[in-house]
Amino acid sequence: MKKQSTSSDILIGVGLRHNHYEDALTRPKAIDFIEVHAENFFAEGGAAKAVLDQVAKQYAISLHATTLGLGSARGIPKQPLQKLRQLIEQSQPLLVSDHACFTWSSLQQDSNNEERFSPVHAGDLLPIAFNAETLDITVENVESVQQHIARQLLVENLSAYITPEGSTMSEVSFLTELCLRANCRLLLDINNLVVNASNANSADILGDVSGYIQQIPPQLVGEIHLAGCSPAQPGAPMIDDHSQPVPDIVWEGYRIALKHFGAVPTLVEWDTALPSWEVLTDEAAKARAIAEEVLSRDVA
């Protein structure tokens, strides 16, 4: 028998966006941590940094980055790494994460008849091919980031709208191997699994989500993300816009994940069409209630 778990073993958080800064500071709720997008706080000083300092006095902080591009073949420029390390030193976050994607490339320039290559950021999270070459690149980049920030990194599975050519591995096999080789952990976004299965025209979306989860060694998952998105329009893909409450199918996926992974820190994301602070934190309360229900049972 495994040890019985309860909801007191799990940390529940919400993503903090600009509209909720004042509410988070003046109307604290029963949440355990706050996630912020790291790049919003890279600037020296200013109002945003002052808010983060105040928030950190009331909540544990999770830093979620979007610019590292861990699968970028050109590597990761020094500046965002330095900014991230500085922010980590200042905020002492509970968790640090980014995505299994590429964002960086190089632009060829001619200057005084000399060929130069300048780093260019895509401004989006672009999908990577799941193969041995990309795995080697991503492992090297993750190891470099972890060495630079002196922290273990969580790597999030991506919602993607195309399948890159050259994939020879499944996403779950790729990410599992990445975690084992780079000594990082996985940030499992359950809504992204639902979006990808939906866009692949799956006949059994929850079954696909469950199958994905069951393939991951439990010790490799360091955080779970929950979110909702707008329903897909006829003939169009489902877009992961984080604009809705967590839907039933994601809650069902969360139950499956809790049974498999145990008490993993869990975050509710809501990035567009933002609700009131009460609605957002009610979603976190629902996550805690589900965790209490699932984790309080004896697991054979």
Among 262, 98, 279, smallest CA distance to 189 is for 98
Q: Return the pLDDT at 42.
A: 92
What confidence category does residue 228 fall into, taking pLDDT thresholds of 50, 70 and 90? very high
Domain ranges of the chain: 7-295
CA distance 127 to 54: 36
What number of H helices and E strands is found in the chain? 9, 10
Residues 6+ positions from 244 with CB-CB distance below 8 Å:
228, 229, 230, 273
Q: Return the pLDDT at 6.
A: 46
122 has pLDDT over 70: no
Residues 6+ positions from 39 with CB-CB distance below 8 Å:
65, 66, 67, 80, 83
Cα 175 to Cα 136, 161, 296, distances in angstroms = 12, 18, 29
Q: Return the pLDDT at 60.
A: 96
Q: Return the pLDDT at 300.
A: 43
Mention the CATH class of domain 7-295: alpha beta
Q: Return the pLDDT at 143.
A: 98
| Extended strands (E) in the chain | 12-15, 33-37, 60-64, 95-99, 102-111, 114-126, 154-156, 185-189, 221-226, 266-268
pLDDT digits (tens, 9 = 90+) for 4-53: 444 457 999 999 999 999 999 999 889 999 999 999 999 887 788 889 99
CA distance 220 to 112: 50
Asked if residues 195 and 231 have their Cβ atoms less than 8 Å apart, the reply is no
89 has pLDDT over 80: yes
What confidence category does residue 111 fall into, taking pLDDT thresholds of 50, 70 and 90? low
In terms of pLDDT, which residue wins out, 246 or 4?
246
pTM of this prediction?
A: 0.91
Give the mean pLDDT of the chain: 90
pLDDT digits (tens, 9 = 90+) for 257-272: 999 999 999 999 999 9
